[in-house]
Amino acid sequence: MLDLRLIRNDPDTVRAGLARRGEDLAPLDRLVELDTEHRSLTAERDALRAEVRTLSNQVGALHREGRGDEAVALQEESRALGERERELDVRCDEVAASVRDLLLRLPNLPAADCPDGDDERDNVVVRVEGAEGADWADHQRVPHWEIGEQLGILDVERAVKLSGSMFVMYRGAGAALVRALCQLAIDRNVDRYEEVRPPTLVRTDTLTSTGHLPKFADEAYHLERDDLWAIPTAEVPLTSLHRDEILPEADLPRRFVAHTSCFRREAGSAGKDTRGLLRVHEFDKVEILALGTPDQAAELHAEILARAEGLIAELGLAYRILDLCAGDIGNSAARTFDIEVYAPGVDQWLEVSSVSWFSDYQARRANLRFKPTSGKGTEVLHTLNGSALAVPRVWAALVETHRRPDGTVRIPDLLRPYLQPYLGGEGPFR
């Protein structure tokens, strides 16, 4: 969440940042009003408490001096003030809750170097690799759902029978390819990132810490009986690993990598292409995440992007890097680079990784702090993350890009050790 002190002391900067996102500023104005009211109520309540304590001491002194009649009169005055103090205390709590709710709903401020723009049409293409001048053959212009059906490696029809629309099922070599992609992404990152297998179901405060709640509740799967949420990404549990902790600066940065299933309702996908693997409710993903000091953030952001990009490049996929504009970055992000792969069978650029720096926005929600090596007190951490590899769209682009004229799929060299039982012979992979 945003720093309330920044909103109090420099509201113009906050207004300008939210305006760059195209946000309605009315909630911010309401927040400022409520915060002013809360501070006024708190001051009045605290003054009454002090006055009640003073009267209580005076009543005690009068009783000791045998001046009971005077003590009774003061007791009545103290009782009336005490009732008013309790009313103010209730109102203080109500206003404080409203302030926090508004804080939780305000998005992060875009970084100064985040490009200006209203939506995805204003995103900046940083570079394109492997697509310019490419001559895609007819056998590569077949959508992955047709390839998957022809080769018996993707079974959408039975997945829908089992679970409903926008669920898919991989079979045989197709399922092995899912496993291979995830294992490859883990193997490529455990040199510096601690492998974690976090829970897939988390508490409400865990999902709130990353900014997915309360704003995006409709996009998540909620188990109401247990008040648990299915994670939309491993970013959610990884961000809260050190929630409410203070880390020594000497232990930073902390790096984590995790392979999990991810669940998203895709409630906002109406009118969008949902065929095959383009938009699914459940998918596998390997996430890399870092916690660092503000001074470490820029280097960590570049590091995560380089790792995600390097893996896509080695898979032989055409891709591009986008610098997302202020109007298109995620709710919690301050700066985001997207990696999109080109899938020739569907003739689309498909987002496969968002590499984001969240500044102190998530860490403030999760109460993630560090103790500087020199200096007093504590400071708020910065969080960063990105998809090392998200399976569905990479899987789709891979089978389309590497489809051979005979209909089989050529497997890139770095994946071959993971798929030996499925290579050659009469199988779908070569």
- Give the Cα separation of 251 and 197 in Å (integer): 21
Global model pTM greater than 0.95? no
The residue annotated as part of the active site, out of 20, 45, 393, 403, is: 393
335 assigned to active site:
no
332 assigned to active site:
no
The residue annotated as part of the active site, out of 146, 282, 314, 351, is: 351
| 251 burial via Cβ count (<10 Å: 0-12, 13-18, 19+) | exposed
- Residue range(s) of every CATH 3.30.930.10 domain in the chain: 120-422
* Interval 189-219: pLDDT, tens: 999 999 999 999 999 999 999 999 999 999 9
User: Domain 4-105 is classified in which CATH homologous superfamily?
Assistant: Serine-tRNA synthetase, tRNA binding domain (1.10.287.40)
5 assigned to active site:
no
First to last CA, the chain: 50
The residue annotated as part of the active site, out of 49, 279, 410, 416, is: 279
- Give the Cα separation of 108 and 329 in Å (integer): 10
User: If you count DSSP H runs as helices and E runs as strands, how many of each does the chain have, helices first?
Assistant: 12, 14
- Residue range(s) of every CATH 1.10.287.40 domain in the chain: 4-105
The residue annotated as part of the active site, out of 78, 209, 240, 354, is: 354
Q: Give yes or no for a contact between 96 and 34, defined as CB atoms under 8 angstroms apart.
A: no
* Interval 326-382: pLDDT, tens: 999 999 999 999 999 999 999 999 999 999 999 999 999 999 999 999 888 999 999
* Interval 7-20: pLDDT, tens: 999 999 999 999 99
The CATH number for 120-422, chosen from 3.40.1380.10, 3.40.50.10210, 3.40.50.2000, 3.30.930.10, is 3.30.930.10
- Give the Cα separation of 130 and 340 in Å (integer): 12
The residue annotated as part of the active site, out of 254, 255, 264, 369, is: 264
